[in-house]
Structure formats: structure tokens, C-alpha cells
A and B are shown apart, each in its own frame.
Chain A
Amino acid sequence: MTQRADQTRPGDGPARAYDGPGASSAVRGINPRITAQISYSIDSTIPGEWHLRIIRSAIPAGRVTGFQTALLDDDVIFLTADDVSDLNTFGCQIADQVVLTREPKFVGDAIAAVVAPTARDARVAASLVEVDYEAVPSVFGEMDAIAPGAQLVHAKHYTSESDSAYFDMRPQDGTNVCHRFRIRTPALQGRDEPEVVPHLDDPDDALADAFADADVIVDEVFHTPAAAHVPMEPHATNAQWVDGRLEVTTGTQTPFNMRQDLAHIFGLAAEDVRVVVPFMGGAFGAKTFIRTEAITALAARKAGRPVRCVLDRDEVFNEVTRHPSTVRIKLGAKRDGTFVAKRIWAYVNTGAYADCGPGVAQKMGYAGVGPYRFDHVAVDSYCIYTNLPPGGAFRGYGAMQSIWAAERVVDMMADKLGIDAVELRRQNLLHEGDTFCTGEVMHDARFEELLDDAAAAVGWEKDGDRRGKGVVVILKGMQTPSKAEARIELLPDGRYEVQAATADIGQGAGEMLTRLAAEYLKVEVDQVVVCAPDTDRVPYDTRTTSSRSTHMMSRALADAARDLQVHGTIGHGYVSNDGGLDPDTGQGIASSHWHQGSASAELEVDDETGIISLSTLYACSYAGKVINKHGAELQNEGSMILGLGTALFEELQYTEGQMTNPNLSDYNIASALDVASIRHRVMEVPGGEVHGLGETAVPPVPPAIGNAVATFGYDVRDLPMTPERVLAARLGDTFQSPTGEDPQ
């Protein structure tokens, strides 16, 4: 074991004034991101550390039968699955992963690693190792994976003890379904339903009577592809063992889950793992749960020295993706427009490992119900293993996929009924005191104001000409249940230190904490310092995901400030939001507060090339009370930009399970030149609660565009709406899909 090196790292040494991203607008003069004053994970180093390269499977499914390592230099350390025999399996919701595997399940799965003195040596060494495989059949599409007789990706189903497994799993034995989530409103409960995983064309629905009162039914299937998070900073981890304690400096949105999972993998007490989180250069969900941390820690253990791992861009693409999905929606209404019933089947392609796919399946399930009243709702979401790279948390967290389908279907219904699409929504919106399909009563419901605002932004006139216009309104849940703790300590120099585990991903968490603490303590912002998340120094927090931090942490901090006033030098604050859903009925509390939003689009479609030209893309997100206006606006814009790329061109492509566009030339994200049409609003109301809004504007953007496109007769079901898909949707032209196969 090496000694802890003398170094400066976030969390070590004296507290400092907040100088991170976002500090520009208020706390300091110049944006430290531009002046390169921020130290990210990728900038953190430990003297004497060696470098890790992961050797990845070239086949989508099979067994590693041997390695040829004769060409490796003597000092290179080589790790294989043999080195993980004393380690526990892991996985945030289902423990289906090992640190290095003998049985790879996707192209890119970690099967071995090399550690060498320099990054270059490690790269060369990795290229010198040859691998022998024995391939087995593989399956890539979510619908193929649930077909009878499909190859099983995992021979059996597992569970997880992690805090992140916050609901009971419902694996379907003998299938690739690792979790099944259902919603059944009261009249549909207690039926004797068969446990089969229905395919899209299965005619028999045991709950068809829910639609008995409907005059008109729309029943349609939609698809969304895998997509990449593209954080500017890749995953970067430094690990070392200090007197039997594991210390990891890494870019993660989940420091406390990380601590727990690493402790579990290595058989340590949680206190014997320290996780330090410097600023991150973006994450968007890609830096949640175990990514590069366990393999780096293992390598450091074997090497007896600190080890560093930084992924290449193509590895970042393959590390974790957004879940591809197929969503079928059946909506029934009376002739006067009153919604009667909704049925959703969501098929979530979680790839080779579950990660948080079960949670995503659950959220995909209820977000697709939307902010509307129904007599009956039944949802079936399936989290399905395939041999693609794992799907994980992704800004919008499942909501985007089902809202794409659900809000397109509302417009289809409006067309069928001959009712104005905005009026049809208005007629069915949830209001204060209405009951959602989960049984929870809506509070602080703002859907009507949001709808009107988005409609006005594109000059929507009731029953007017709506060619080229689309309007959408949505709800999205927040992580429930969860906990947040915060401490505020009065320092000897008279300043206050905020100790909280909220990670700064670039969203401005540090600034948010600074401003809030100053407000609650009634001091100036320069009287407040924030320490970086370090599990040795800050109290527990569930994680920095699902736009929960501002909402939860603000209350924990307020509590800490009150406590400080009572106790003098240290104030401790704690909040929890309780709830959760029954996996078989979907009844309970889905979300302790709702993210509410709307969007609209105005555009033209070139009817010969299928190219969409946006003149307005608008989104309105309900914020209640805004803490940092500039930061909130940036979040809203960022969400819209992601939504725009999702709508028009972002799509990971695969050939035989191998990603064919894992770089920024072959995979486009929206650029500065694409966003000129964007306008938006962060909606505040006097006396409103603090609402998170880090993702609210992602999900409504694709259907707002899709609905506008559909007014020209192009009924696009599959994202992204590439020009050739647009043309094919009207002309029925069957252009072959661009290179590679559709994962469908």
C-alpha cells in the first residue's frame, strides 16, 4: 500500500469560496470555465499513479476462452476475470454485473485490463493482447428479445441490496424481462391476469373492457433509438488504497451510492471507502453508479499503487446509453372529447445489464399517462435485456420515450374527433385536487397555464389554421423516495461552510448552494463557502439526478440554517420525500412533487427533401420559485437543445451489436447553428415552492415538433425525424435505413 500522497484535491485542506461553474454570474466576475481555473476529475492526479486501459469484448455474446499476452512488457500488470473472484457482483438495481467478465454480453464489455506506467504504454499494451472467443447467439432489439424462444442474455435473474433498488423487482422467469411494472386504476385491479409478456400484435388484452365507454380509440406504436449523453469531459477516475481504505476521486453524480456499491464489491465497511467528486464537465446521467470506479480500484489494489483511468470518446459512447424503446399507446375517448381510458405498453431495451433500467421502465410507464384525467389506466412496462451496451440514467429519464408516443397520440385523437388539439388537452387536464392514475392527489398543478403559454408562443388560435404548429403539455416525476442531508458549519474566520453531497455537473449546484445558504443565514454570498462532495466530509444525499437537488437540498439547507441558529456552530438539516409505487398496481406516490412543462413548435417541411425548418421552438417549465434565474434559464435551454437533437438527428447505430457511430463526426449533437429558433420561459408564481427544472423541457420538444410535422401529413412514429423518415411517413417510400440496422 502506498502512502497518501501530498496533494491538493477538492475536499482536502481549507474550505474555499465557491468558484466553480456558474460562479460567473453573481459570485465572481469571470467565468472560471473559460479561464481554466476549474479542476475537473480529469485534471486530478495522484503522484506515482499508473494508467489503466480496459480490454473490451469484440463479440456481443459468448465466452472468452483465452488471452495471448506474450508481447506484453514484464512490468505491465494484466487483469482478467480471475482477479475478481473475491469480489461481489454489483448493479444499482439488479446485481447482474462483475468487474471483469468471462462471458461478455455486449461489444465493449470489459473482459480484461492492463496497467502500465504511462497512458501511452497502457494503450500500446492493450493493443498487444489477443483474445480468443467462443460466440453464442445474440439478440439486440427489445421486441426480438421478448419473442418466444429468444436467446436469454442472463441465464437467471438477480436482485440487489443497494439503496438504489427502492422498489421490488418483478423479473419474469425464463424471459429477458428483468423487471415488469404495472399501473392498474381501481376498477382494473384484482383481475386474474396472466403473467405473459405481450408482443405488439397480441390481440388479446384482458383489460379491453376499460374502453367500453369509448366512442373513438387510437392505438399506435412508436420507437425511440439509443442515444449518447456526450458529456464534454469523459469518465475519469483516480483510485488508491490508503491503509486498507479505498479512496476514489471520480466524476460521479452518485457519491453515496458509489461509496455503498464499492464497499459491497470489495467487502468493506462503507466508512472504509472515500469518494471525492470534483467538478464535472457534464454528465447528463452518464456518470451515475459504478462506471470506471470499480475496475480502477481493483487495478490499484493489484498494482499496489494509485491508478488512473480515463475513457476515450468511443468508450464514453459505449459505457452507457439512453434506453431504446418501443411504446404502444391505446387511447379511448368519447365523441365529445372526454378521455375514457389509456393503455400503455412500454418495452425498454436496457442492454446487457439492468443498471437503473427498472426505474426507467417505471418512469416511462407513468409519464406516458400524462397530465390528464381518465376513468381507467393500465400500464405495463418491461425492462428487457439485450446484447447492446447498457442503457442507464439519461436526462429525461424514460419520460421522453413515452411522452413522444403519448403526446403524438393526443393529436391523432384530436384529428379523429375533429377537435382542436389544444382544446382537447384543456378539456382533459388534471387540476388541483384531481387524482392521478397512481392514486395520488395533484397539488400545485399548473398544466393549464403551461398549455396556454405554449399555445400562445406559436400564435395558436382556437380552431384556426394550425398547419405547421404543434403544442404539448407534460408531467414528469422526481426521484421518490429519496433523502437529502446538509450541514452548515460556522468556521473560525466567521464564514459559513456548506457541506452537501450535491455534485456540480456544470448545472451550477455550487452556486445554488451558496445563494440559498446566504439567503437562509441572512448573510452575503461571500460569507459562504461550499466544500466539494467528499463522503468523508459531507452528509448523506440520495444523488444528483432527476432534477431533485434544488428542490430537496434547498429544504435540507433551510433546516440546517434553522438548526445552526439554535446550536451555534453546526447546523444539521434533513429532509426526505416518502413514497414509491407498488410494482403490481402502480398505486402509491410516484413523485412527491411534479415537474410540469409544455412546448410548442412552428415549422415548415420541404415536401421534396423531408427537411424540417423550425421558425419557433418554445418550452415553458414550471419552476415555482426560481433561485438563480440565469442558471434556471440555462437549464431550460440545455434541455431544449438536447430535445432538439433527439427530435431531429440523434441516434446510435449498430451493426451486429457493434456501435458504428461512436464519435462526434458520425453522431451529431445540436450545435450553436441549430438553436436559433429556441425561445423559452421559466414560469414562476408568487409564493411557489422550489421546483427542479433540469430536465423538464427535454420530453415535450420531440412531440411538439412531431405534431407540427404531422399537420403536413407526415405521421412520423420513430425518432429521430430524419428527412428520409419524414418523407417515408407520407409517401410510404421505403428508403433503406442509413448504415447499420435499426435496433428495432
Chain B
Amino acid sequence: MTWHLPTSVDDVVRTRAERPEAPIVAGGTFLGILVRQGLVEADEWISLQRVTELTRMHSAGDLSVGAMVTHRRLELDDTVRTIWPGVAAAFKAVASPRVRNRATMGGVLADADYASDPPSMLVASNAVAEIASVRGTRRVPVEDLIIGHYSTSMEEDELITRVVVPRPTGAAVYRKLRTRSQEDRPASSVAAVVHGETVRVVVGAVSDRPYHFADVCSQWRPGDLDSAREIGEEYASRIDYIDDNRGSAAYRRHVVGVEVRRALMAVAR
């Protein structure tokens, strides 16, 4: 088994282009399980651990989070907690400190697991991912990055380098619904972020990818319980739900209505 340990983004993208079969390893929390289960096998691996530029985080203006910034850092950083409390809350909701100490921003977006916490909040916050390859760099809204079950709009050889989250102008609320252990992944993941007069509500973990319905959100009357309830019901009815160990499709449809309503009432407070 060979480990490549590039030290710069340029190095990484070149190594990727030369070795398309070699998986990128960030925190390894997701890949580690796949390897143990025999679902991923490779002779060569590319580790991002030495790429210090990917661990940078800036918060003057917008929040710029390097792909190797851990969940734990986002959860605990004072500036993030003060200015982007919704982001801090969504990353804090993940698993346990053991996992959050390793898991990274790049990893959670690239694995595109439907049952993750951060994506709904990142979409609700209008976050944009920066993606690099030997062909150059491009910017993709997180909303367009995760397109289905474990699938993204990235090319095989592309690398997420950082994620930019605009400075919020209103309140943000993250609601994780756990139906089993408190360390479990979400059965539903609802993020609501207020931008000026409007709200972006995003529902994750109940279907193949996070869902946002701008036309429904545009009907919002801040602080109005009926409005919140109607939006909740409309979200509940529009999504095509999955059935898994965390809840049936019918249960999820029911709780999405409740959770969206609660999130809307909470951001209006």
C-alpha cells in the first residue's frame, strides 16, 4: 500500500490527475468504514493531512473554510459561533467528539451521504464550494454540488479546496431529529436561515439530497404560525421520502412538517 503525502493543492491535483484510481483521504471517518467493510480497495492513497493551506479558516467578511478544517473546529470557533451560529450548530450536531475531531468540511460534502447534518445548513446559508483540478478552479454552490445519493457534480479528479459561507443578515436555526441513539445520524435535518426579508429552508436526511423550495419560502410571513405551518405542510408533501432504520417514509413526511414549522417559528423569534 502506498501513501502519497502532497503538501500543496497543486501537488494534490497533479497527483490526482496521474493516479485517478487513488482515493483522497481527508479525516478518513467515512473511508475507514468502507475499507473495513471491503467496499473500497486501493493500492495507492492520497492523504490531505500535510496540505496546510487546506486547514485555513478566515472569518473577516465571509467565512472561508478550508477543506481540511474539522467539524470540531467549526463547532468551537468563537467567531463562527457568534456570527454563523447555524453553521456551528450543524457541525456540532454530528456524531460524537471522536468523529468531529477527525471529520472535515471537504469530506462531508464529497461523500454526499444523504444522512448528514451540515449539508442542509450549508445550502440554506448559500454556501459555495471552490473546486480545483489540473484544469483550474471553479465555484459551485453547495446546492448544486450534492445531486443525489452519494453523488456530486464533481469530476473524478476534482478536489474541494474550500467552502465560502456568506455573512448572514438574519437568524439561523438548525434542527436535527434523532430517532435512536444521541450519536446517530439525523432522521431529518432542517435548516432555516433568514436573508433580509426572506428565508431559506432546507430539508436534508429524508431523501436523496437536501431540498429547498424557493417558491414555498417566498410565502413566509415572519412569526406567523399559520404561515409556518403551511410551509411545513408544503415541504412535507413535495419531497419523495426514503425508508430506513431511522424512520419510515410516512413518519418522515409527518415530522418534516413539524420540524419545518418549528424552525420557522424559531428564526422569527
Contacts and interface: CB of A to CB of B under 8 A. Distances in A.
A666 B37 CA distance: 13
Given A663-B37, A672-B96, A673-B96, A736 B181 contact: no
Size band of the B side of the interface? 20 to 34
B40 interface: no
B92 interface: no
A133 interface: no
B183 A671 contact: yes
B182 A674 contact: yes
A68 interface: no
B4 interface: no
B96 A671 contact: yes
B259 to A, nearest CB: 8
Interface in A659-689: 661, 663, 665-674
B233 to A, nearest CB: 13
A670 B245 contact: no
A369 B189 CA distance: 44
B245 A609 contact: no
Interface in A387-413: none
Contacts of B182: 671, 673-674
Interface centre among A609, A611, A665 (most CB of B within 10 A): A609
Contact of B181 (A649, A653, A727, A733): A649
B156 to A, nearest CB: 26
Contacts of B33: 665
B251 A671 contact: no
B248 A736 contact: yes
B247 A669 contact: no
Given A665-B33, A735-B251, A673 B245 contact: no
Majority SS of interface residues in chain A? loop
Given A609-B258, A674-B182, A733-B254, A723 B96 contact: no
Nearest to A723: B179
Contacts of A736: 243, 248-250
Given A723-B179, A738-B243, A738-B246, A668 B96 contact: no
Interface in B183-235: 183-185
Nearest to A673: B182
Contacts of B247: 722-724, 735, 738
Interface in A535-551: none
A648 interface: yes
B255 interface: yes
A663 B37 CA distance: 10
A3 interface: no
Contacts of A722: 179-180, 247
A611 B182 CA distance: 12
Given A671-B96, A672-B96, A733-B254, A738 B245 contact: yes
A649 B245 CA distance: 10
A739 B245 CA distance: 6
B165 to A, nearest CB: 27
B96 A724 contact: no
A281 to B, nearest CB: 17
Contacts, number: 76
A611 B183 contact: no
A645 B255 CA distance: 22
B181 A668 contact: yes
Given A671-B181, A724-B251, A735-B251, A661 B245 contact: yes
B28 to A, nearest CB: 16
Contacts of A727: 251, 254
A672 B254 CA distance: 29
A735 B248 contact: yes
B258 A724 contact: no
A43 interface: no
Interface string A209-227: 0000000000000000000
A608 interface: yes
A673 B251 contact: no
A735 to B, nearest CB: 4
A648 B250 contact: no
Contacts of B180: 648-649, 668, 722
A737 interface: yes
A365 to B, nearest CB: 31
A714 B88 CA distance: 35
Given A665-B33, A736-B243, A738-B247, A611 B179 contact: yes
B244 interface: yes
Contacts of A611: 177-179
A736 B241 CA distance: 13
B192 to A, nearest CB: 17
Interface in A598-655: 608-609, 611, 645, 648-649, 653
A218 B178 CA distance: 34
A668 B187 CA distance: 13
A665 B249 CA distance: 19
A283 to B, nearest CB: 22
A271 B244 CA distance: 51
B255 A739 contact: no
Contacts of B258: 608-609
Contacts of A673: 96, 181-183
Nearest to B36: A313
A519 to B, nearest CB: 40
B50 to A, nearest CB: 28
Contacts of B37: 663
Nearest to B33: A665
Interface string A711-744: 0000000000011100100000111111100000
B189 to A, nearest CB: 14
Contacts of A674: 181-183
Contact of A723 (B243, B249, B250, B251): B251
B197 to A, nearest CB: 28
Nearest to A314: B37
A653 B245 contact: yes
A434 B185 CA distance: 50
Contacts of A666: 245
A734 B254 CA distance: 12
B94 to A, nearest CB: 12
A665 B37 CA distance: 12
A738 B251 CA distance: 9
A455 B245 CA distance: 34
Contacts of B250: 724, 733-736
B93 to A, nearest CB: 11
A517 B183 CA distance: 42
Nearest to A725: B251
Contacts of A734: 250
Contacts of A733: 250, 254
Nearest to A653: B245
Interface string B3-29: 000000000000000000000000000
Contacts of B185: 665
Given A668-B184, A735-B251, A649 B179 contact: yes
A668 B185 CA distance: 10
A394 to B, nearest CB: 19
27 contacts: A608-B255, A611-B179, A648-B180, A649-B179, A661-B245, A663-B37, A668-B180, A668-B184, A672-B96, A672-B183, A673-B96, A673-B182, A674-B182, A724-B179, A724-B247, A724-B250, A724-B251, A727-B251, A734-B250, A735-B250, A735-B254, A736-B243, A736-B249, A736-B250, A737-B248, A738-B245, A739-B243
Interface of B: 33, 37, 96, 177-185, 243-251, 254-255, 258-259
Given A673-B96, A735-B248, A738-B243, 11 more contacts: A608-B258, A611-B177, A671-B181, A672-B183, A673-B182, A722-B247, A723-B179, A727-B251, A735-B251, A736-B250, A738-B244
